[in-house]
Amino acid sequence: MQGVARLFITTAILFALAGMALGLHMAISGDHGQHPTHAHIMLAGWVSLALMGLFYHHFPALNLSVMARVQFWVTALSAVLMCVSLIFLYGGNPAVEPGAAIGSIGFLLGMLLFAYNVLGTIWRT
């Protein structure tokens, strides 16, 4: 595995580990106040990024493209901003809500770039 596919899969695994650690922390502490954050980490971070990585691995020419690299950085950095902001937001700090919003909008932009890459590829082949 190489290129953007490797970046997506590596980042997805890091999100999976973070999400599992948060889930374990919630279970041990009995405080499930971070369950929305846990869900975002696992679904946006782990599942979405892993599926993106698998797609790029399946299409090697697109995997090495500049557009795929831009899409990776927009999506990954936005996911980090969104999830870190959610940790603080659900921890009782409403001042970070703009960070969660910016991260969410950035993640949407990353998904739009992914849709452009995917749909352009599958309808050409």
Task: Please give the Cα distance from 53 to 94 (Å, whole number).
Answer: 33
- Boundaries of every domain in the chain: 3-122
Q: Residue 1 has which token pair? A: 């595995």
Q: Residue 79 has which token pair? A: 């996911």
Task: Please give the Cα distance from 69 to 8 (Å, whole number).
Answer: 10
Phi and psi at residue 31, in whole multiples of 5°?
-100, 110
Task: Please give the Cα distance from 106 to 74 (Å, whole number).
Answer: 6
Read off the pLDDT of residues 8-23 as tens digits, 9 standing for 90 and up: 999 999 999 999 999 9
pLDDT surpassing 80 at residue 109: yes
pLDDT, mean of residues 52-60: 94
Say if pTM beats, i.e. exceeds, 0.85.
yes
